[in-house]
Amino acid sequence: MAGTWAKAGFDLHLDVAGKRVRAGLENALRDAVRTGRLGPGTPLPSSRTLAADLGVARNTVAEAYGQLVAEGWLVARRGAGTRVGDRPPAVEAAATPPPALARPPRYDLRPGTPDLSAFPRAAWLAAARKALAAAPYDALGYYADPRGRPELRSALAEYLARTRGVRVTPDRLVICSGFAQGLSLLCTVLRARGATGLAVEGYVRRRYREAASACGLRPRAVGLDAHGAVIAELGDADAALLTPAHQFPTGVPLAPRRRTEAVAWAEATGGLVIEDDYDGEFRYGRQPLGAVQALAPEHVVYAGTASKALVPGLRLGWLVLPARLVDEVATAKALADGHSSTPDQLTLAELLVSSAYDRHVRRSRIAYRRRRDRLVAELGRRAPHVRVTGIAAGLHALVELPDGRDEDELVARGAEHGLALEGLGAYATERSRHGPALVVGYGTPPEHAFTAALARLVAVLG
């Protein structure tokens, strides 16, 4: 026997099992309280109402309530009805207690995440209200264009051409759920076209190599030096994943000559360059480097994301594609998840069109530059034995350690100080040659915690 009752604005399903109705009702209510479906203080319907909802006698419900009140599961007060008790009876502990959750670090200096507390909530909500008010009803249905909403693709085309020099029209854009999904879509399409290998830089995020392998491509690392990825080593790779503007995680930009070499390699071999412009908005000590894609739009995929300029939780990224790949990538997107969140796409489009996105990026650039300068100054003053590099752009710096210092040891010491750190070795490949270093992200701590995070970093490095 099952029933649903409504009380205080919500519904609750009770599964009353067995031939003994009263016992089944008592068990169903105990289970609802024990599992948390009915929280402390939750009001229950009157015995008359619940009896009608469940199709049982009123006395059956009244007797079940009385038994549970006696056991301490429920409380009943004259004029106030019956409610779940504030402190349900203790239950016997499991024979094997669940493992304790790892305590999160108090301060996080790992790279890759912006200051989440700086997300422009007011601007986002204002843009969402305006965008949704103007959106047609059919925009919110199942059958959306897998390439993404035309409003966002149009706004992004203008923004990317203006700020990053990308050669793009809205029909060349596919909206995806962050860069990770975009890379998986590309690898899926390339494998279906017969590709077998993806070249990656000498230091790279492990999950990108894993994504390529999961799609059937063999990742192969090429050398990395002071001029960026060694393009001459791309050889017979079918595609190359590069971070030309600010190599992640070393921070080295791809030298102009090698940018030209990358395009020449793609044109000569039919290979594809995947340009991950993960932090293109944040440049400090020099003019922004234009996108490699502008040199050869039919041989380079430009990939961007809102994860650094806004927050990763939006899961919004984009691919600017050669004409021959648009339909295939859109089909792969449709098979993967249909399309990205329509309300979020419409909101980001409004944020771009209204210039609120530009204003937020400019404010963020100033704030992150100040943090970078504080990091460099503090380490120069209190930890002169380390060298800070890769700081012309982005939200992280490479803190190079003296010979003999062990990355893992420092990461462990950081954990003892409540500080999350990451060593360069976490990104190593078979072509890694750099000495020991920490990859320090200065974007994550909220402003009020940044000074304390720096103090703990200095203590760990001391």
Pair (387, 292) in one structural domain: no
* Domain assignment present for 401: yes
Pair (350, 399) in one structural domain: no
Domain CATH code at residue 26: 1.10.10.10
* Domain assignment present for 89: no
Which one is predicted more confidently, 71 or 128? Answer: 128
Domain CATH code at residue 364: 3.90.1150.10
Collect contacts of 37-43 with beta carbons under 8 A, ≥24 apart.
37/12, 38/12, 38/84, 39/84, 40/84, 40/85, 40/86, 40/87, 40/88, 41/83, 41/84, 41/86, 42/8, 42/83, 42/84, 43/7, 43/8, 43/81, 43/82, 43/83
The band of 7, judged by pLDDT with boundaries at 50, 70 and 90, is: very low
Average pLDDT over residues 156-178: 97
Pair (334, 363) in one structural domain: no
Total domains in the fold of the chain:
3
The band of 8, judged by pLDDT with boundaries at 50, 70 and 90, is: very low
Q: Which of 328, 355, 382 is the last residue of a domain?
A: 355
Cα distances (Å, whole numbers) of residue 396 to 48, 259, 439: 64, 23, 7
Q: What was the pLDDT predicted at 251? A: 94
Average pLDDT over residues 276-301: 90
| pLDDT cut 90: percent of the chain above it | 73
Q: Which of 339, 355, 371 is the last residue of a domain?
A: 355
Q: Is the pTM of this model over 0.75?
A: yes
* Domain assignment present for 155: yes
Containing domain of residue 41, as a range? 2-84
Q: What was the pLDDT predicted at 88? A: 60
Pair (350, 410) in one structural domain: no
The band of 46, judged by pLDDT with boundaries at 50, 70 and 90, is: confident
Structure token pair of residue 91:
């239950």
How much is the mean pLDDT over the chain?
A: 91
* pLDDT higher than threshold 80 for residue 402: yes
* pLDDT higher than threshold 50 for residue 5: no
Lowest mean pLDDT among 12-16, 69-73, 114-118, 201-205: 12-16
Query: What are the tens digits of pLDDT across the range 358-401?
Result: 999 999 999 999 999 999 999 999 999 999 999 999 999 999 99
* Domain assignment present for 37: yes
Pair (124, 57) in one structural domain: no
Average pLDDT over residues 49-53: 81
* Domain assignment present for 442: yes
Which one is predicted more confidently, 47 or 108? Answer: 108
Pair (379, 278) in one structural domain: no
Can you tell me the distance from the alpha carbon of 408 to that of 388, in angstroms, rounded to the nearest whole number? 18
Q: What was the pLDDT predicted at 350? A: 98
Query: What are the tens digits of pLDDT across the range 199-220?
Result: 999 999 999 999 999 999 999 9
Can you tell me the distance from the alpha carbon of 131 to that of 153, in angstroms, rounded to the nearest whole number? 15
The band of 167, judged by pLDDT with boundaries at 50, 70 and 90, is: very high
* pLDDT higher than threshold 70 for residue 286: no
Can you tell me the distance from the alpha carbon of 114 to that of 155, in angstroms, rounded to the nearest whole number? 23
Which one is predicted more confidently, 189 or 85? Answer: 189
Can you tell me the distance from the alpha carbon of 36 to that of 339, in angstroms, rounded to the nearest whole number? 34
Average pLDDT over residues 274-302: 91
Pair (50, 138) in one structural domain: no
* Domain assignment present for 276: yes
Pair (339, 363) in one structural domain: no
Q: What was the pLDDT predicted at 257? A: 97
Can you tell me the distance from the alpha carbon of 449 to that of 258, in angstroms, rounded to the nearest whole number? 40
Q: What was the pLDDT predicted at 100? A: 55
Can you tell me the distance from the alpha carbon of 127 to that of 133, in angstroms, rounded to the nearest whole number? 10
* Domain assignment present for 386: yes
Residue with tokens 């897998």: 146
Q: Which of 355, 375, 409 is the last residue of a domain?
A: 355
* Domain assignment present for 418: yes
Pair (176, 312) in one structural domain: yes
Domain CATH code at residue 336: 3.40.640.10
Pair (62, 176) in one structural domain: no
Pair (257, 389) in one structural domain: no
User: What is the sign of the dihedral through the CA atoms of 56, 62, 66 and 69?
Assistant: positive
Pair (169, 52) in one structural domain: no
The band of 13, judged by pLDDT with boundaries at 50, 70 and 90, is: low
Query: What are the tens digits of pLDDT across the range 222-240?
Result: 999 999 999 999 999 999 9
Average pLDDT over residues 171-198: 97
